[in-house]
Amino acid sequence: MVRTIILVAAIFALAFASIAQCEPKADETKWLDGTVRVWRSVRVDSLKLAPARLPWLVLFDEKCVHNINPDVKFADQQDKTDRSYRVLGGERVAIFSTEHSGQIKLPDGQTIPAQLISFAANYDGDKRSFFTAALPSIWAKADHLKAEQNLKTLVRSVYVHELTHTYHRNFFARLSVIEKGLKDVENFDDDIIQNTFGKNEEFRDVYVNEIALAIKAEQEPDKAKKRLAAKLVLNAIKQRRAKFYIVENEKFAEIEDIFLTMEGVANWAAYRAAIADGMTAESASRLIRRSGKYWSQEEGISLFLIIDSLMPNWQKIGFGKQRVSIVDLLERATR
């Protein structure tokens, strides 16, 4: 009898220990709360989107994975004991925490290693979005970020970048249709133009020059001159596409457009997040743009800085039911 009691007590202690070990720690919860606050302010004030509940978040550190706001079907399958509740950014969320084995299972069925990663994707037949990312403790161990002074703001901004992508379901859906038709492309991601054409010297020169034109337009304080400078960028983009995206490369015009739109607006949102987190516009821009060596990221944010300053309320068109591209927005902004 005594032995049974001891055994039961031991099992309880073990179960309790595993829950307690995996519930989000106080500093993680505090950082997440601040991140959701910043996301809410960017979503409402910068992206001008209607209030909405957080999507399904799958966040993990070295040891534990937390499914936050998961789909009801998922919640029903979980052992109720590892569920906890938190208020993040004013929203009460259910969190399912458990130890992982180095692999993270995602809502769309794929499995990823528990390493430095962050992305958004569709699930449930493109009807819904989720976001997955490593928590700051994993980012802090990355060699290339060891010297970063503003790591917590950077990771927070990356989260906002990806949360912005949860509003890109129709873009993701179109990309997966395009991807099925591509046979000769290894990595179908936002660096595809750079990876495919970066070794073509002529293409590279034209593209690098185009980015320089965009930065010039972005930095022009006078509105009328800015509009003219933006027109030059628009023409440069159109000319480059007309010249290089022909015959078997015709498909790249749409591919470039989609990635540039998605990365541009998400990077711009990340920049707004760094400002909302207390940085000046100048240091926020430096933090988000890093070296500026990735074409779609750099040209994308530059174009959205131009669009935002020339066309208030571009968000209404940019986040409407139809997919509206960055070039289309720039065209409207320069009219």
How many C-beta atoms surround the C-beta of residue 304 within 10 A?
Answer: 28
Q: Are 187 and 195 in contact (CB under 8 A)?
A: yes
Instruction: Show contacts with Zn ion in window 293-312 (CB under 5 A).
Output: none
Phi-psi region at 100: left, alpha or beta (left = phi > 0; alpha = psi -120 to 50): beta
Interacting span for Zn ion (CB under 5 A) from 30-38, 176-184, 222-230, 263-271 = 263-271
Q: Are 57 and 97 in contact (CB under 8 A)?
A: no
Is the Cβ of residue 266 or residue 305 nearer to Zn ion in the bound state? 266
3 state DSSP class of 131: strand
State whether the Cα torsion 35-115-117-57 is positive or negative. Answer: negative
When the beta carbons of 69 and 164 are compared against Zn ion, the nearer one is: 164
User: How many chain residues are in contact with Zn ion, going by CB under 5 A?
Assistant: 2
Query: What residue is closest to Zn ion based on CB?
Result: 266
Give the shortest CB-145-to-Zn ion separation in angstroms: 18
Q: Each residue of 140-169: b (16+ CB within 10 Å) or e?
A: eeeeeeeebebbbbbbbbbbbbbbbbbbbb
Nearer to Zn ion, 172 or 203 (CB): 172
Q: Nearest distance from residue 297's CB to Zn ion, in Å? A: 8
Sign of CA dihedral 37, 39, 42, 47: negative
Q: Least distance in Å: CB of 172 to Zn ion?
A: 11
Residues 12-71 that bind Zn ion (CB under 5 A): none
**DSSP conformation class of 311:** -
Q: Which two tokens stand for residue 43?
A: 């979503």
Whichever of 79 and 179 has its CB closer to Zn ion, that residue is 179
For residue 163, state whether it binds Zn ion (rule: CB under 5 A): no
* Span of 41-49, 125-133, 240-248, 258-266 interacting with Zn ion by CB under 5 A: 258-266
Asked if 160 is part of the footprint of Zn ion (rule: CB under 5 A), the reply reads no
Tokens of 330: 């720039």
Candidate ranges 198-206, 231-239, 266-274, 303-311; the one touching Zn ion (CB under 5 A): 266-274
Output the smallest distance, CB 7 to Zn ion, in A.
Answer: 51
Whose structure tokens read 């976001």?
Answer: 131
Residue 266 within binding range of Zn ion, rule CB under 5 A: yes
Contact stretch for Zn ion (CB under 5 A) within 106-114, 169-177, 179-187, 261-269: 261-269
Whose Cβ is closer to Zn ion: residue 269's or residue 279's?
Answer: 269
Tokens of 77: 């399958």
Cα–Cα distance, 261 to 328 (Å, whole number) = 10
Give phi and psi for 196, each to the nearest 5: -85, -40
Residue 64: CB minimum distance to Zn ion, A = 25
Window 194 to 223, contacts with Zn ion (CB under 5 A): none
Q: Give the interface segment with Zn ion, choosing from 19-27, 172-180, 255-263, 316-324 (CB under 5 A).
A: 255-263
Half-sphere exposure of 112 (CA within 13 A, CB side): 19
Query: Rule CB under 5 A: which residues touch Zn ion?
Result: 263, 266
